[in-house]
Each structure stands twice: as structure tokens, then as C-alpha cells.
Chains A and B, each alone.
Chain A
Amino acid sequence: MTFEAICVKKRNLITMLSIRNNMARAGKVTPPQFVATAFGILFPEAVNAEWYVNAQGFEAVFHHNHSEMIAMLGANGELLETRLNMPAAKAPAMVMVALAPESESELMNVIKVEKNTETTYEIIYRNRHLDRFVMLISEQGNILSDNAL
């Protein structure tokens, strides 16, 4: 093994240690007890909740029934919004209809967003040149926004 290869291997191990240790320490944001309680009532099946603090309140990223989900809760523990990751194959038909005019496009990611009483879908798709876009679609199939990523 050359000296350069030994150095690369050593640097790689240091990187691995750093990732491992930081992953072990991650997710240590703790919401107030009443927020955690409200979350537990809303999502009793939640696994591995990781909390973030943002301007609206608290955000939990977690697994729920084998899907990734994000719940945003206000400072008083009220549910503001949920985001559910969906397999592209299970995207609602109107998502595919909205995407149809984009010839040879491919659906890469679908997130169902529920806020107040409204449901929208945030999708990521790529065109035939592999350029990527994020599109927001209403439950009625209307395209609310379509921006390059």
C-alpha cells in the first residue's frame, strides 16, 4: 500500500468516526413536555421522532406506519401541518395527470401536505435532460407552482 493510500484510508476512518459520533449525538432537541404529549396523542405509532425548532414552533420528523412523516406543531402543541412521504408508484392519479404535459418526465418524489383543511402534493420530477423541478399540486389537480431545483 502506498503512503498516499495509507493517508487516504486514515482520513476515511476519521471521517467515519466523525459521522458515527455525530449521528449518535443527533436528534437531541427536546420539545416542551406538553408538545411531546400532544405529539404522542396525535401519532401514537411514531418511531424515532427527531425534533427541530422553527419559527412556527416545533417540527418532528419520524416514521409512522413505515413511512417518513413530518408534523409541525405550534408553540401550544396544536397540529399545524403534516407531510407524508409517498412512494411514487402510489401517487394519486391527478398528480400523474398534472405531470403529463411534461413529456418524458419522471416522478422522483411525492409528499402529501395537509394544512388546515387543505391537501396539496409537493412533487419532485425530472425532465428528459435530467433537470429537476418541484411542483405543488392542489387536491383538484391544479398546478400551484412549478420551479426548477
Chain B
Amino acid sequence: MANVAKYSTVKDEDLVRKIIEDHQTALFDILYERYHKKVADKSYSLLKNRELSRDAVQAIFIRAFERLAGFRGEAAFSSWLYSITYNYCIDFLRKQKQLHYPEWNSLQELPEIIDEAYEDFGDFDEGLFSRLLDEIHPEEKALLMMKYHDDISIRDISIALRISESAAKMRLKRARARLLFLYQEKYKPTSQE
């Protein structure tokens, strides 16, 4: 354990290298300590179930450990780990058949595309923004989180969600449009308020 403590300030990518090249597998505990809460938060925000998200954390870290040799360091370790997190959660929801994006999208067709020039996401308070994100489909929410919170590249988003890069870009555009539409429809104060 003392040996592990010595590495507590070492960069993620260097830890991964030591785990792979020097077979110091105990160092994976440090990565777990650094990221398990963030992975749990992301899982919960998509799965909306504490027990399922606790199970997800274990499964995600096992998957990350098994795939560690495939981590090439092209992106930060955190982005790579979060990609696995989103992939796990969306696949889980898809397999539970709770999630059918094309069907949901066709039922929730946007009647109007709001011009972003007339609305500023920066004006939304964070509570309202959180509510809006919970009203859209988990696949759209995952896309927005990956792109705008975790700064994951479009290529890695498309791999994680198992869609093409073009589909990822278009769905991102649609997710932004949906947030604006929902805001205008349900939450925007009217001029009398």
C-alpha cells in the first residue's frame, strides 16, 4: 500500500504506462480513487438509479482495466475512461430496451427550430438546465455531456455511442435545438411575468 501512496501525485497517463509496461497492477487503485466518484455521477445521471450506477462503476472499471493495453494516450486518460462510462451506460439502457432513440425521436419531432442567435444558453440557470437535460433522451444527454463537459472528440463520441461521426454531429445539433425548444415551450418567462 505504501508503494501505491508514493505514486499518488503521478499523472494518470504515467500510471497507465507503469501498469502496462511494469505490470504494477496495484497502481490501478489510484486511478480508481481519482475517478470512481465522477464515473458514479455520470452513470447516475444517465441510469437514474443508485444501485444500478454502483454496479455500473464496478463494471466500468473492470472494463477499463481489461482494455488498458489499448489506451494509446491520444486523449487524456479521463476522456478515455468517460468514453467507456458512456458506452457502458447507453449500451445498458439499449439492452434493457428502455432506450429506442429513433422511435423516441420520431415521436418527439421538433415542430420548430429555434434560432440560437436569439437565445443564449448562458442565460439559463443551472437548476433549469439540469431539468431540461433530464427531459431529453439519455442518448442526447450523453452526447451533450461528452462534447461539452468532457471535451471528448466527435470520433471518440461516435465510437462510444456506436454511431457514425456524421450521425454524432447531427444528433448533437438536434440535442441543442431540443433544449432551446423545450425552454421556449415550457420554461421561458412570458413578457407579463
Residues of A within 8 A of B (CB): 8, 11-13, 15-24, 26-27, 47-48, 50, 52, 61-63, 66, 68-70, 83, 85, 87-89, 107-109, 111, 122, 124, 130, 132, 134, 149
Contact of A15 among B115, B124, B149, B167 (CB under 8 A): B149
The answer to whether A26 touches B148 (Cβ under 8 A) is yes
* Chain B residues near A23 (CB-CB < 8 A): 121, 144, 148, 176
Closest to A123 in B: B164
The answer to whether B166 touches A130 (Cβ under 8 A) is no
| B113 interface hit (Cβ, 8 Å) | yes
The answer to whether A122 touches B149 (Cβ under 8 A) is no
The answer to whether A17 touches B116 (Cβ under 8 A) is no
Contact segment of B6-14, B59-67, B68-76, B126-134: B126-134
A–B Cβ pairs within 8 angstroms, 10 of them: A15-B41, A16-B133, A18-B148, A19-B144, A20-B129, A24-B120, A48-B115, A109-B102, A109-B167, A149-B163
| B122 interface hit (Cβ, 8 Å) | yes
The answer to whether B167 touches A130 (Cβ under 8 A) is no
* Chain B residues near A130 (CB-CB < 8 A): 94-95
Closest to B40 in A: A8
The answer to whether B174 touches A19 (Cβ under 8 A) is no
Closest to A111 in B: B166
| B44 interface hit (Cβ, 8 Å) | yes
Q: How far is the CA of A130 from the CA of B163 in the complex (A)?
A: 13
* Chain A residues near B95 (CB-CB < 8 A): 130
Residues of B within 8 A of A (CB): 37-38, 41, 44-45, 94-95, 101-102, 106, 110, 113, 115-116, 120-122, 124, 126-127, 129-130, 133, 144-145, 147-149, 151, 162-164, 166-167, 169-174, 176-177
What 5 A-B pairs have minimum CB-CB distances, sorted nearest first? Answer: A24-B122, A68-B170, A22-B148, A149-B162, A24-B121
* Chain A residues near B169 (CB-CB < 8 A): 52, 61, 70
The answer to whether B166 touches A22 (Cβ under 8 A) is no
Q: How far is the CA of A61 from the CA of B168 in the complex (A)?
A: 11
Q: How far is the CA of A108 from the CA of B171 in the complex (A)?
A: 12
* Chain B residues near A132 (CB-CB < 8 A): 162-163
The answer to whether B115 touches A47 (Cβ under 8 A) is yes
The answer to whether B177 touches A63 (Cβ under 8 A) is yes
A66-B106 contact given A21-B122, A24-B120, A111-B167, CB 8 Å threshold: no
Closest to B91 in A: A130
Q: How far is the CA of A111 from the CA of B171 in the complex (A)?
A: 12
Q: How near does chain B come to A22, taking the closest CB pair, in angstroms?
A: 4
Q: How far is the CA of A61 from the CA of B169 in the complex (A)?
A: 7
The answer to whether B149 touches A22 (Cβ under 8 A) is yes
A63-B173 contact given A24-B120, A109-B167, A122-B164, CB 8 Å threshold: yes
